[in-house]
A = this chain, B = another copy of it.
Amino acid sequence: MEGKSLLRFLFLMFGVLLLLVFTVFNLPYATPDKAELLDCTSTWCTSKNRFLKPHFLQDPPNPTRRHHSAVPHHPLDPLTVQEFNKIRTILSSHALFKSSPYALHSIVLQEPPKPLVLTWQKGDPLPPREASVVARVNGVSHVLTLNIDMSQVTRIDPGPLSGYPMMTMEDMTSATLAPLANADFNRTIIERGIDLTDLACLPISTGWFGKSEENRRLIKVQCFSMKGTANFYMRPIEGLTVLLDMDTKEVIQISDEGRNIPIPKAADTDYRFSTINAQQQMNLLNPISIEQPKGPSFTIEDHLVKWANWEFHLKPDPRAGVIISRAMVRDPGTGEMRNVMYKGFTSELFVPYMDPTDAWYFKTYMDAGEYGFGLQAMPLDPLNDCPRNAYYMDGVFAAGDGTPYVRSNMICVFERYAGDIGWRHAESPITGMEIREVRPKVTLVVRMAASVANYDYIVDWEFQTDGLIRVKVGLSGILMVKGSPYVNMNQVNQQENLYGTLLSENVIGIIHDHYVTFHLDMDVDGTDNSFVNVNLKREQTSPAETPRRSYMKAVRNVARTEKDAQVKFKLYDPSEFHVINPSKKTRVGNPVGYKVVPAGTAASLLDPEDPPQKRGAFTNNQIWVTPYNQTEQWAGGLFAYQSQGWDTLATWSERDRPIENKDIVLWYTLGFHHVPCQEDFPIMPTVSSSFDLKPVNFFENNPILRIPPNVEKDLPNCKASASA
């Protein structure tokens, strides 16, 4: 055994040992005994404390990086290291946690009531700092509210009736090791000719399909061979599924159905540049960069971002990833900052795979509620994930024992100039006037990238000076593939359903969907808004009236209740979707508003009664509108893990509450159908889609009418760097 393999083996064995200890003592949860602040930048809590590491491109170091001494300055600022530590102290002395082992599945700021946040101004004392904690104690889930200032647990709720909290990172990592404690599992691995040291396993949420997934917190583990490649995802040990009790780590069942399926080859699967030999490297392009010699045009104070005519609060969140709050844009006429959106974030993801067979049917992920979309957001790679001119923001989260840790460079913020045009007009030869007025488009991008095991989701919030917010989701990373006996399509009977595409010898990319549901608490010039479906429909005319037979008319329908605002898009029955403030009108009398503008999207084709679709019922429509309710944040329910679909956006909306001239929340689902193709192997080029929030009669006129064009003298002088 070579040195590296030996190390891996020892590490693995240590894990197994640790697990055995846990199992024997029936202590599935770590107790809060670590005091140090970990920086889980690169690997999960195996690296040393690096929370004061060098700051990328920040000179002088940005104060937000001083996490140990950070204090909140805004009612929405996330919990600080000191606050996390205080919470640990409060909890450790609380009766609930005294006698029992426990795990803390989520510790986040309990945001103050919206009216308090809205009236708070810089300089005011902060509203009481509260935390919301989701804990599992002896197999029971609790939702606690803590007053941090008063060092008190103020409230304990049982949480939803069905489902479990988001997994902790410890849940996930320990699940991948648990099968190794099972002799049958080890035997089948060895019988397949795989070295235990080459094993890489993934924790796969089981979903819920009926009684067998009830009353027990379950997880399935599937494994891969990482021999010869870092891209073990392309080497599945097909058909082998281990069902575990996630609390006890007990192996409940081993399903072993793929013994006839070879493990696909490792060759040509590694994507790391270091593994590609020099002759094969493709240097197609000269260096190119976005340059801002006078520095960026934005400032970030703690979590408050100010750029051009925009201002918003930005924070990392373990479940949502990125939360944008209090987005306001300056009115060019009056100079005032006007409210656009109180809160916007990725509420849930739903990723059903389209293979009903034993080892695949349950793969119907809810990446935020099960895995933590923010927990999976890894440090961004400067110069590649974000351009050179980016600013980076860290996340501070808590481990399962409550210990805070830093996820450095989790979010980046940068100005983008992509060579696009903000507005233009040239007079044509028809009029012969000498006019050519063009304004370049520069935007501000807030980005994170979450790696939920194989897949990478890139989420961009892009702010434009014309008031538009574009929310873009990019998909990259690695496909979840299935082992297959086939090496060529000519071996496949026409009648046979592969459930996907043969991507390489013995590798099938399974068809799947991605749905990303956004919570968009729009507050257009105030909290009380209405949702208007501006329906575009054919109007027939009479011959006496006009030589035309038809035209298209816009008919405004204000939604009275939630069911009026359940929208499925139709190309031939189109609408615009406006959130307006019915109490505020423009100079010429149009209600001020923002519209949601879809781009490419996809809709779920699953049977609405299919258990995964019931759990993911928030994707049944592309748009929903609900009255604001601080408890309705997560479209798949607070406890999405093994949820049964009782607590989703769809069930809330069925209550059909009034939404006219109320504080309302718009929900938008961006969808992708993904039929894999060979270009996605072994790692997929980014595929993106987006939607826009766009001012519609919000401003009196074009808000960027008065911005200047680019002129040569303002642009930088650049030269190739010395090393060129």
Contacts and interface: CB of A to CB of B under 8 A. Distances in A.
Interface in A442-499: 442, 445, 449, 451-454, 456, 458, 464-468, 474, 476-478, 487-490, 497, 499
Contacts of A589: 488-490, 502
A362 to B, nearest CB: 7
Interface in A409-431: 414-431
Contact of A453 (B292, B420, B431, B704): B431
Nearest to A569: B571
A241 B584 CA distance: 38
A634 to B, nearest CB: 21
B43 A548 contact: no
A95 interface: no
A74 B501 CA distance: 40
B706 A466 contact: no
A384 B421 contact: yes
Contacts of A453: 428, 430-431
A388 interface: yes
A120 interface: no
Nearest to A600: B599
Contacts of A276: 705-706
A293 interface: yes
Given A417-B290, A569-B571, A718-B291, A285 B272 contact: no
A118 interface: no
A572 B603 contact: yes
A451 B468 CA distance: 24
B702 A210 contact: no
A72 interface: no
B456 A426 contact: yes
A684 B271 CA distance: 44
A538 B438 contact: no
Interface stretch (A181-189, A342-350, A606-614): A606-614
B488 A588 contact: yes
A433 B4 CA distance: 13
Interface string A532-569: 00101110110001111111111000000000000011
A442 B458 CA distance: 17
A546 B416 CA distance: 48
Contact of A289 (B280, B384, B417): B417
A699 B354 CA distance: 24
Nearest to A454: B425
A504 B588 contact: yes
- Counting contact residues on chain A (CB < 8 A from B), the size range is 35 or more
A119 interface: no
Question: Which of A273, A386, A569, A705 has the most C-beta atoms of chain B within 10 angstroms of its own C-beta?
Answer: A705
A606 B361 contact: no
Contact of A332 (B202, B282, B451, B715): B282
Question: Which of A426, A445, A476, A487 has the most C-beta atoms of chain B within 10 angstroms of its own C-beta?
Answer: A426
A534 B500 CA distance: 12
Interface string A581-603: 00001111110000001111111
A656 interface: no
A508 to B, nearest CB: 10
A46 B45 CA distance: 73
Contact of A678 (B230, B497, B700): B700
A553 B173 CA distance: 33
A707 B722 CA distance: 23
Given A431-B453, A602-B574, A682-B705, A551 B291 contact: no
Contacts of A476: 421, 423-425
Nearest to A226: B433
Interface stretch (A96-104, A150-158, A373-381, A639-647): A373-381
Interface string A35-47: 0000010111110
B695 A679 contact: yes
Question: Which of A354, A427, A476 has the most C-beta atoms of chain B within 10 angstroms of its own C-beta?
Answer: A427
A296 B286 contact: yes
Nearest to A538: B605
Given A297-B286, A681-B702, A425 B719 contact: no
Contact of A684 (B309, B386, B423, B546): B423
A607 B421 CA distance: 35
A203 interface: yes
A718 B716 contact: yes
Interface string A274-299: 00100011111111111111111100
Interface in A224-283: 230, 268, 271-273, 276, 280-283
A178 to B, nearest CB: 13
Contacts of A416: 418-419
A420 to B, nearest CB: 7
A711 interface: yes
Contacts of A587: 488
B430 A203 contact: yes
A685 B429 contact: no
B423 A497 contact: no
Given A384-B439, A686-B422, A716-B718, A707 B551 contact: no
Contact of A546 (B356, B511, B680, B711): B356
A439 B569 CA distance: 35
B287 A715 contact: yes
Contacts of A576: 673, 675
A124 interface: no
B709 A720 contact: no
Nearest to A597: B600
Given A381-B436, A431-B453, A717-B718, 10 more contacts: A44-B429, A282-B332, A290-B291, A290-B419, A354-B551, A381-B709, A417-B418, A488-B588, A549-B610, A679-B696
12 contacts: A202-B431, A291-B716, A385-B424, A421-B686, A425-B476, A488-B587, A599-B600, A679-B696, A715-B721, A716-B719, A717-B720, A718-B719
Q: 4 shortest A-B CB distances, which residue pairs?
A: A489-B589, A418-B418, A44-B429, A384-B438
